[in-house]
Amino acid sequence: MAQPIRVLLAKVGLDGHDRGVRVVARTLRDAGMDVIYSGLHRTPEEVVSAAIQEDVDILGVSLLSGVQLTVFPKIFKLLGDKGVNDMIIVAGGVMPDDDVVALKAMGVHEVMLQDTPPDAIVSTLTRLVTERGQR
């Protein structure tokens, strides 16, 4: 039997808007994934540590506060320090197009902005896990 995809959805920093991430959590649950939600106001350290303990396939960070170019470098540094190189990192939320380019250059696998339909989120995540293969 295929294993459900494991996802940690995280909110980092002072951003208090979690309606979107909850809709995504519900969408992924209904698509048969195991979803762990971090809750609000986490630090990059907490998120990375939880993602490693939970051995998630995907770490998704939702940001509506504009701090993506501060948060993601920290996340990649922490993952690198712990020797983790097989986790899929995605971003979601609202941000300028230039930042999307910068995040992808940094190693974020996919950035899904506010107009992404739920089905597209599911198919994107499923594709990323399939491409990664067994681990």
Partner 1 sequence: MSRYVPSAELAGRVVNGEVYAIARLISRAEAGLTEARAALAGLYARAGRAHVIGITGVPGSGKSTLVSTLAARLRTGGSKVGIIAIDPSSPYSGGSILGDRIRMTDLVNDPGIYIRSMATRGAMGGMARATMDAVDILDAGGFDTIVIETVGVGQDEVEIARASDTTVVVSAPGLGDEIQAIKAGMLEIADVHVVSKCDRSDANRTLTDLKQMLTLGALTADRPDWQVPVLGISSYTGSGFDELIDALTRHRAVALHTESGRRRRVAIAGFRLAKTAENLLLERFARASSELTPDFAERLVRHEGDPYSLANELVAASFGKEDP
Instruction: Name the residues that contact partner 1, by CB under 8 A.
Output: 3-4, 6, 25-26, 28-39, 42, 45-46, 49-50, 52-55, 82-86, 132-135
List beta partners, residue 8. Answer: 36, 59
- Geometric angle at alpha carbon 8, from 22 and 93, rounded to 5°: 50
Q: Minimum distance from CB of 57 to partner 1 (Å)?
A: 9
Least separation in angstroms between residue 96's CB and partner 1 is: 29
Cβ-in-10-Å burial (0-12, 13-18, 19+) of 125 comes to: buried
Nearer to partner 1 by Cβ, of 105 and 115: the residue is: 105
DSSP-assigned letters across all residues of 84-98: ----EEEEEE---HH
Nearer to partner 1, 42 or 116 (CB): 42
Alpha helices, DSSP H, located in the chain? 19-30, 44-53, 68-81, 97-106, 118-132
State the nearest-atom distance from the C-beta of 11 to partner 1, in Å.
Answer: 11
Closest contact distance (angstroms) between CB of 42 and partner 1 is 7
Q: Which is nearer to partner 1, 30 or 120 (CB)?
A: 30
